[in-house]
Amino acid sequence: MTQQRKRATIREVAKATGLSPAAVSYALRGIQTSEETQERVRKAAEELGYEAHPIARALASGRSGMVGLLCGSLEDLWQQSLAVGIGRALFARDRFAIILDAAGDPERELMLARQLRDQRVDGLIVQPVDPSAALWADLAESLPIVSIGDSLPGGHAYGEVVFDNRAGVTLALEHLYNLGHRHIAVLTPTVARTPDRPADIHVNAEAERLGVKVDVVTSPQALGAATDVALDVLGNSPRPTALFCFSDSIGYGVYAATRELGLAVPEDVSVAGFDNHPMSGLLTPPLTSVDWDIEGIVHSAVRVMIGAIDGKPRRRRIVCEPSLLQRESTGRARGVDPEVN
C-alpha cells in the first residue's frame, strides 16, 4: 500500500529559494516581487508539489476565486447553455462558478442570493426572476453584481448585460402581424408575483400599436408543464392563430401539444420563440426565434465581472440587440389574403 505524499509547505518553498515565507507568498500572488523572483518561486513550488491551500489563499487575498451564478430557471434550456458558457469562461480566467437555480421562484431567488453572499463569493452574476426586489440594493453594498437580461432598478448592479426586449418583442409581433395573424397567444414564464418585467410590458404596448389581440398566459419552462399549458391554449375557441413563446423551451411544449391535438405547424398554428436555442433549428419544422447572441452575452458578462473583481473599470452597461431568424414554423394565417397585411 503506497502512502499519500504529504503536502509541501510554504516554509519548504522558502527554504528551497532562500526567501522568507512572506516573500514566497507575495511571489506566488504576483505582487511586491520581481518577475525573476516570481518565476524562481513558481518553479520551486512546482518541483516540490506545493499548492496553496484554497482557504488560506482566500484569507490572504480576501478573495475566494468563486463567482455565484444565479439562474432564473434551469428548466429553460437556453439558461442551461448560458450557465455552461459562463462557467467555462470563468474557469478560463482561473475562477470557478457556483451555479444555483432559482426555479422561477422570486422568494427562492432571494434566499439563494443571500446564501451566495454569506459564502463570500467574489461576485454574483444573476439572470433575475424579480429584478425589482429591494434585496439587490442591499447585496450590491457587499459584492459586485452583474445582471443579465433585465436591469436592476436604481443602478444597483455593478454592471448589466441587458436585452433590448422592446426590439425583440417588436420583431416577433410584427413578423406575425405581417403574416396576417390578429389573435396571438403569448406564453411567458413570468408569474403573477413579478408582473413588471420589460418584455411582458412591451407585449401589451406593441399589441395595442399593431391592433392585435393578445392572450398573455403564464407557462412553466419544463417540457411536460409547458405542453399542458399549450394544450389548454390550443383548446380554446376561437383558437389563436399564432403562439409567441418567451423561451424556446416553452415552444417545444407547444410543438408537443400540436402533435397531440393533430394540428400542423404552421398550417394550423404558427409558433415563434425568443432565444434561438441550438435545438430550435433541428425541429420539424425549424422554429422561428429571436436570437440574442449567447456567446456575446457570456463574453460581456464575464468581462464585466472580472473587471469588477480585479478593480479594473469596464464598460458597465451593454445592450444586446436581437435579430429574428425566420424559419418554417411561422406562416400565413388561415383565411388571410396573401396580398393583405
The total number of structural domains that make up the chain: 2
In whole angstroms, give the CA distance from residue 316 to residue 157.
Answer: 9
Across the chain, what does the average pLDDT equal? Answer: 88
In a domain, 84, yes or no: yes
224 in Cβ contact with 265 (< 8 Å): no
Same domain for 45 and 121, yes or no, is no
CA distance 332 to 278: 25
Mean pLDDT of 200-210: 90
pLDDT tens digits for range 153-166: 766 678 899 999 89
114 and 259 in a common domain: yes
In a domain, 57, yes or no: no
Please tell me the least confidently modeled range out of 8-12, 59-63, 129-133.
Answer: 59-63
pLDDT score of 152 more than 90:
no
Q: Enter the C-alpha cell of residue 78.
A: 437556453
In a domain, 106, yes or no: yes
- Both 119 and 187 in one domain: the answer is yes
Q: Is the pLDDT of residue 208 over 60?
A: yes
Residue 265 scores a pLDDT above 50: yes
Residue 172, in any domain of the structure: yes
- Per-residue burial over 198-232, b if 16 or more Cβ lie within 10 Å, else e, is bbbebbeebbeebebebebbebbbbbeebbbbbbe
What CA–CA distance (Å, rounded) separates 154 from 247? 27
- Does residue 141 sit in the same domain as residue 190? yes
Do 41 and 71 reside in the same domain of the chain? Answer: no
Residue 184 per-residue DSSP state: E
Residues 26, 107: one domain? no
pLDDT on residue 6: 61
Same domain, 116 and 46: no
Same domain, 96 and 16: no
List pLDDT tens digits, range 100-115.
999 999 999 999 999 9
Q: Can you give the residue range of the structural domain that contains 249?
A: 64-335
pLDDT band for position 2 (50/70/90)?
very low
Residue 59 confidence (pLDDT) above 50:
no
Set of cell numbers at residue 233: 391554449
57 pLDDT band (50/70/90 cuts)? low
Shared domain for 115 and 222, answered yes or no, is: yes
Domain assignment of residue 113, yes or no:
yes
Look at residues 82, 244, 219 and name the one whose alpha carbon lies nearest to residue 168: 244
Q: Of residues 315 and 25, which shows the higher confidence score?
A: 25
When pLDDT is cut at 50, 70 and 90, the band that residue 231 belongs to is very high
pTM above 0.85, yes or no: no
Tell me what pLDDT residue 239 has.
96
Is 85 inside any structural domain?
yes
Q: In the structure, what pLDDT confidence band is assigned to residue 1 with cuts at 50, 70 and 90?
A: very low
CATH number of the domain enclosing 187 = 3.40.50.2300
Same domain, 24 and 129: no
In a domain, 2, yes or no: no
Residue 3 in any domain: the answer is no
Tell me which residue has cell 444573476: 126
Give the tens place of pLDDT for each residue, 10-33.
888 888 889 888 888 778 766 778
Instruction: Identify whether residues 95 and 124 lie together within a single domain.
Output: yes
122 and 271 belong to one structural domain: yes
